[in-house]
């Protein structure tokens, strides 16, 4: 028992340090190589730093690192919640269709409206896109919640999520076919996911939404433990299962929906990080898993962002390609382990 | 006598059908009660509604009519959390949860007793270790649940119900999936929980032979009624015959066992000074009625000379001019089967 506590403290401490390091590295590295001393001076605010370097750091690198951190945390926590609520190791906001809902909203906005052609200010466009994604995510969330009242079987819920996702992609596909080139390009860029597309004004909207979702997640940690054994046990242990699921799905939707709306659909992190956390901590208790997922989610996403910069080169890869390359092996590992029935 | 922990009045159970608003009553009104320290087995045929009955008692589905009283108060006055301090439930089926430790699984039973964070206090931990001790899993507290045998997993789930600290524990087929040793272990454990901890333990089962040896009361559920009594009462009052009514199975009131009700067309005379219980058992299986040491031998009847000694088994078969010697019942069976062709 004592040994376990020490092990957990050690892991938490290690992850915390790693998170700080990656956050710093994410700021230092980028397509333009900045001298270490200048970056340090700009961040600490003493010494004179060339104006352009200050601009790069405060307008681009710092917000991007912050958004990456938030996205990693939010998507991972959302994945953890969904895996437990739906008692399925492969559940995440992506699979359940929340990301598809968001994509649909954004697609409607970019491709469907003529808004794009009589171009207004860039930030209005950005904000409109984010709002559309947000609305899409929550509409899908409402659909899933309504369905969850009728469908008791968690497997059917997942199938429903995949089917709805399929319908949405089909409709978006049709819309893409009829839309003009510039709009199409904007939409395709959004679907690749990006952390740098989030300007500081939007960060101010994104931050409270994520905070709210996380607060709900921490308040409902104990429910997740009870739900692990299934509805019958949860109910006879005194949990109001229907209420608990609704609150958890709202929390999960806030987290995943917000990130998708602002950064585009980012896959695989939501499935992979909770499993990595379980493997690392060797526990099923959410009192450990939830804070651990927060840390590891941040670490993994910052790492992905660093890699996507291709440090030392002038090109930047879409974040989705990196998360896929990192996440999919983990998911395949899970499938094989489950086969062995361990 | 102390007042009942569970009292059921005119309860009818079943499923509300949402589409037709019709009520699918699957069982007739039930009246019964249980007391502290009683171990009760619910038996009945598959699909008769045992699970539905148990699920109604623990509050997983609403009763269609009638009333359940817990600790002297009607069911509906209890909120979910209060209810979870009175009745705990172990469902049928196996739960796989990766990376869950035995201790953590049992600790989940403290859910109704801990704060919003679910943090275990010293007292909670002591209760958990006591329960693990009782089910014999103290040494395995930090094993991964998925590495346990089915029997150990079932005992873990029973420990989880124990730490929930409720006067009533309801279990849905706790001995299904288990091998015979584990079945006995689990039943013995339930017996201890009921008698030592003075809890009301109600479980459904198909393992009647084992249940007979430990339970205080049997609830026999049939399409028309709930028959109850001590196992011996049930035998003497011919209640088990109701279970097998309109089937080819027969209940033997003397041995307390069921048999296939095979019609025995042939007769075999057995000469022996020893106990021939197992020879009789075998012959019945081969389709022969046994006649032991008769004063006169009927015509056309084969005879067996049976002797069990330290040299082993000797069975001499005699029919008209034919004579054979067998040393195992298996060989005898093979020969008789050959003969009947």
What does the pLDDT read at residue B317?
A: 93
pLDDT band at A340 (very low <50, low <70, confident <90, very high): very low
User: Among the listed ranges A31-35, A88-92, B101-105, B189-193, which one has the minimum average pLDDT value?
Assistant: A31-35
pLDDT for residue A341? 42
Beta strands in chain B (DSSP E): 6-12, 14-16, 23-25, 30-34, 39-44, 65-70, 73-74, 87-90, 168-171, 200-204, 217-221, 226-229, 250-252, 257-259, 266-271, 288-292, 303-309, 312-319, 322-326
Question: From the list B81, B98, B109, which residue is nearest A284 (CB)?
Answer: B98
Contact between A342 and B98 using a beta-carbon 8 Å cutoff: yes
- The 10s digit of each residue's pLDDT in B37-50 is 999 999 988 888 89
The predicted model gives A31-51 an average pLDDT of 77
Find out whether B67 and B75 touch, Cβ atoms under 8 Å: yes
CA atoms A76, A82, A88, A93: torsion sign: negative
Question: What share of chain A in percent tops pLDDT 90?
Answer: 29
Interface test with chain B among A91, A215, A221, A233, by most B beta carbons within 10 Å? A233
Cα A289 from Cα B91, distance rounded (Å): 26
Six-digit token string for A28: 């230092």
All structural domains of chain B: 1-86+166-230 (3.40.50.300), 98-164 (no CATH), 266-340 (3.30.160.150)
* Residue A341 at interface with chain B, using a CB cutoff of 8 Å: yes
B150 touches chain A (CB under 8 A): no
**A150: number of Cβ within 10 Å:** 9
Instruction: Please report the pLDDT score of residue A338 as a whole number.
Output: 66
Instruction: Give the strand pairing for B14-16 and B288-292.
Output: unpaired
Q: In sequence order, which residues have a C-beta less than 8 Å from that of residue A49 and are 6 or more positions away?
A: A38, A41, A42
Here the tokens at position A69 are: 């951190």
Query: Would you list the DSSP string of A45-65?
Result: T-S---HHHHHIIIIIIHHHH
- Taking an 8 Å cut-off on Cβ atoms, the answer to whether B164 and A237 are in contact is yes
**pLDDT for the residue numbered A342:** 36
B224 close to A (CB below 8 A): no
pLDDT at A129 over 90: no
Interface ipTM: 0.83
Which residue among B81, B83, B95 sits closest to A230, beta carbon to beta carbon? B95
Contacts with A219 from chain B: Cβ below 8 Å: 116
Which residues of B, range 159-178, sit inside 8 Å of A by Cβ? Answer: 164
Nearest to B171 by CA among B182, B185, B158, B184: B158
CATH of A33-339, one of 3.20.20.20, 3.40.50.150, 1.10.630.10, 1.10.3470.10: 1.10.3470.10
Domain locations along chain A: 33-339
pLDDT digits (tens, 9 = 90+) for B222-235: 888 899 999 999 88
How many beta-carbon contacts under 8 Å exist across A and B?
A: 83
> Can you tell me the distance from the alpha carbon of A199 to that of A142, in angstroms, rounded to the nearest whole number?
29
- Contact residues for A118 (Cβ-Cβ < 8 A; gap 6+): none
Q: Do B91 and A278 touch (CB under 8 A)?
A: no
Tell which residue, B143, B166, B170, B165, has the closest CA to residue B156: B143
pLDDT higher at B256 or B146: B146
Distance (Å) from the C-alpha of residue B74 to the closest C-alpha of chain A? 17
* CA atoms of B304 and B323, how far apart (whole Å): 10
If you average pLDDT over residues B27-43, what whole number do you get? 91
Full DSSP string of B86-126: TEEEE-SS----TT-BHHHHHHGGGGGGS-TT-PPPHHHHH
**What does pTM read for this prediction?**
0.85
Kindly report the average pLDDT of chain A as a whole number: 84
Q: A225 or B341: whose pLDDT is higher?
A: A225
CB A222 within 8 A of CB B117: yes
Token match 């084969």: residue? Answer: B302
Average pLDDT rounded to a whole number, residues B295-302: 88
């Amino acid at each position: 028992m004592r040994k376990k506590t020490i092990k957990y403290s050690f892991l938490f401490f290690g992850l915390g340090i790693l998170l700080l390091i990656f956050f710093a590295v994410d700021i230092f590295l980028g397509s333009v190589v900045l001298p270490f001393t200048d970056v340090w001076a700009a961040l600490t605010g003493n010494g004179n730093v060339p104006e352009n370097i200050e601009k790069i750091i405060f307008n681009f690198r710092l917000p991007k690192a912050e958004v990456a951190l938030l996205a990693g945390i939010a998507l991972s926590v959302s994945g953890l919640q969904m895996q437990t609520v739906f008692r399925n190791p492969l559940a995440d906001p992506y699979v359940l269709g929340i990301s598809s809902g968001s994509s649909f909203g954004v697609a409607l906005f970019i491709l469907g409206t003529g808004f794009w052609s009589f171009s207004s200010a860039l930030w209005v466009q950005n904000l409109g896109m984010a709002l559309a994604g947000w609305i899409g995510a929550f509409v899908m969330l409402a659909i899933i919640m309504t369905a969850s009242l009728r469908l008791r079987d968690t497997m059917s819920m997942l199938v429903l999520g995949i089917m709805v996702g399929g319908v949405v992609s089909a409709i978006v596909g049709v819309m893409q076919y009829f839309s003009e080139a510039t709009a199409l390009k904007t939409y395709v860029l959004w679907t690749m996911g990006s952390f740098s597309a989030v300007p500081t004004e939007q960060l101010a909207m994104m931050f409270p939404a994520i905070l709210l979702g996380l607060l709900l997640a921490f308040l409902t940690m104990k429910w997740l433990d009870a739900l692990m054994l299934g509805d019958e046990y949860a109910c006879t242990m005194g949990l109001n299962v229907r209420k608990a699921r609704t609150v958890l799905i709202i929390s999960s939707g806030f987290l995943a929906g917000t990130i998708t709306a602002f950064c585009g659909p980012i896959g695989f992190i939501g499935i992979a990080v909770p499993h990595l956390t379980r493997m690392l901590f060797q526990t099923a208790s959410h009192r450990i898993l939830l804070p651990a997922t927060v840390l590891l989610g941040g670490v993994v996403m910052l790492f992905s962002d660093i890699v996507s910069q291709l440090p030392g080169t002038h090109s930047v890869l879409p974040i989705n390609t990196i998360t896929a390359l990192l996440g999919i092996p983990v998911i395949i590992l899970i499938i094989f382990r489950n086969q062995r029935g361990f | 006598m102390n007042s009942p922990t569970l009292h059921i009045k005119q309860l009818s159970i079943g499923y509300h059908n949402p589409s037709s608003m019709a009520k699918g009553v699957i069982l007739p009104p039930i009246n019964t009660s249980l007391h502290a320290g009683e171990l009760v087995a619910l038996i009945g045929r598959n699909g008769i509604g045992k699970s539905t009955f148990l699920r109604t008692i623990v509050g997983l589905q609403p009763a269609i009519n009638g009333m359940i009283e817990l600790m002297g108060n009607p069911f509906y006055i209890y909120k979910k959390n209060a209810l979870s301090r009175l009745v705990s439930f172990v469902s049928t089926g196996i739960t796989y949860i990766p990376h869950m430790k035995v201790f953590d699984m049992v600790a989940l039973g403290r859910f109704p007793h801990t704060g919003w964070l679910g943090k275990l206090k010293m007292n909670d931990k002591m209760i958990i270790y006591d329960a693990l001790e009782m089910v014999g899993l103290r040494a395995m507290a930090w094993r991964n649940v998925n590495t346990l045998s089915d029997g150990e997993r079932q005992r873990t789930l029973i420990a989880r119900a124990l730490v929930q600290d409720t006067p009533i524990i309801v279990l849905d087929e706790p001995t299904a999936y288990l091998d015979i040793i584990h079945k006995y272990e689990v039943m013995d454990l339930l017996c201890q929980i009921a008698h030592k901890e003075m809890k009301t333990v109600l479980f459904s089962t198909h393992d009647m032979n084992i249940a007979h040896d430990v339970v205080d009361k049997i609830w026999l559920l049939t399409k028309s009624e709930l028959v109850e009594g001590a196992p011996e009462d049930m035998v003497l009052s011919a209640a088990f015959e109701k279970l097998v009514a309109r089937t080819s199975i027969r209940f033997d009131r003397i041995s307390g066992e069921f048999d296939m009700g095979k019609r025995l067309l042939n007769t075999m005379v057995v000469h022996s000074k020893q106990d021939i219980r197992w020879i009789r058992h075998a012959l019945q299986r081969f389709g022969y009625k046994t006649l032991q040491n008769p004063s006169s031998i009927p015509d056309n009847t084969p005879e067996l000379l049976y002797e069990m000694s330290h040299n082993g088994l000797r069975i001499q078969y005699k029919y008209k001019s034919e004579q054979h010697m067998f040393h195992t019942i298996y060989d005898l069976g093979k020969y008789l089967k050959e003969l009947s062709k």
